[in-house]
Amino acid sequence: MIENIKLSNGVAMPMQGFGVFQIPEEDTERVVLDAIETGFRSFDTAFSYNNEKAVGNALKKAIDAGMVKREELFITTKAYIQQMGYEKTLAAFYESLNKLQLDYLDLYLVHMPFGDYYGSWRAMEELYKAGKIRAIGVCNFDSARLMDLCYNAEIRPMVNQIERHPHYQRLNEIEVMKRLGVQPEGWAPFAEGLRGMFEEPVLKEIADKYGKTVAQVILRWDIQSGVVIIPKSVHKERMEQNIGIWDFTLDEEDMENIRRMDTGAPSMLDCTKPSEVDRLYDYLKNPVLTTL
């Protein structure tokens, strides 16, 4: 049974959700329906993923069929760089809401720390006050940008979604988030297998100890660190494995051994690197995943 965590505004958010990044639109409906059958209730998409409509179709089918009630779902989407600014974000929100075939969103996020995200934040605050969004937040904000937004916004972000995995643990940044009352949410919890993640001896040894997979150990480590996770898989058996992390607990020695794996460097995204900034601004036309 997936546990919830309370955001700063009291909204309950599942600690484990399901991401749909890089799932082709033609496969997304099936995958989301499989995930709902498996037990997932939190789903994370974005305008830039080009599959919001397919996610919406799956949600409508599941609700209409009685598989799940709308109030049991926690749906997240995001506004991209080209949708930043007050007017643009208002329009982007309703475009995403229509594609998702919903009356409200559970979480709406600024996807990248670029463009006029202050104008966007004002729009999101208005939508939040109007009850169209239950929680608002950001993605990929470093501590300085997050602090600056928190110190100037009327309503502070409730979530900061960041790249987070054993090779890039961001412990100091997570401490800043906790101090600000911002819930950390980790994307790419497996770093998409880059840099030998699934072959790490430390993780394999811990997995053997508990009779679990390396992926399950990573997800459990995140949960015990207080980080919300959104793993992705298009295979139902792996969805079942990913959700099977609520029946064991890593001990402190395990947690410490994983902490020692931190390299302090991202595998997927570096918003301080000029080539990465260029890539992100060009992403909608040319969806290259990383220059790292």
> Per DSSP, which regions of the chain are E strands?
4-6, 12-14, 18-19, 42-44, 74-79, 107-110, 136-139, 159-163, 183-187, 228-229
Confidence at residue 234, expressed as pLDDT on a 0 to 100 scale: 96
Direct distance between the N- and C-terminal alpha carbons of the chain, in angstroms, rounded to an integer: 37
DSSP state of 195: G
Q: Identify the sign of the CA torsion 20, 110, 85, 132.
A: positive
Confidence at residue 147, expressed as pLDDT on a 0 to 100 scale: 98
Confidence at residue 168, expressed as pLDDT on a 0 to 100 scale: 98
Residue for token pair 């600056």: 148
DSSP state of 70: G
Confidence at residue 122, expressed as pLDDT on a 0 to 100 scale: 98
Q: Is 49 a catalytic residue?
A: yes
DSSP state of 94: H
Nearest Cα to Cα of residue 59 among 40, 34, 32: 32
Helix pair angle (201-210, 214-224), 10° resolution:
90
Confidence at residue 11, expressed as pLDDT on a 0 to 100 scale: 98
Please state whether 106 falls in left (phi above 0), alpha (psi between -120 and 50) or beta: alpha
Side-chain-side CA neighbours of residue 50 (13 Å): 11
SS (H, E, C) 98-161: HHHCCCCECEEEECCCCCCHHHHHHHHHHHHHCCCECCEEEECCCHHHHHHHHHHCCCCCCEEE
Render each residue's pLDDT in the chain as its tens digit; 292 residues: 899 999 999 999 999 999 999 999 999 999 999 999 999 999 999 999 999 999 999 999 999 999 999 999 999 999 999 999 999 999 999 999 999 999 999 999 999 999 999 999 999 999 999 999 999 999 999 999 999 999 999 999 999 999 999 999 999 999 999 999 999 999 999 999 999 999 999 999 999 999 999 999 999 999 999 999 999 999 999 999 999 999 999 999 999 999 999 999 999 999 999 999 999 999 999 999 999 9
Residue for token pair 């979530």: 159
196/208 Cα distance (integer angstroms): 18
Confidence at residue 162, expressed as pLDDT on a 0 to 100 scale: 98
Confidence at residue 97, expressed as pLDDT on a 0 to 100 scale: 98
- Catalytic choice (49, 80, 108, 117): 49
163/184 Cα distance (integer angstroms): 10
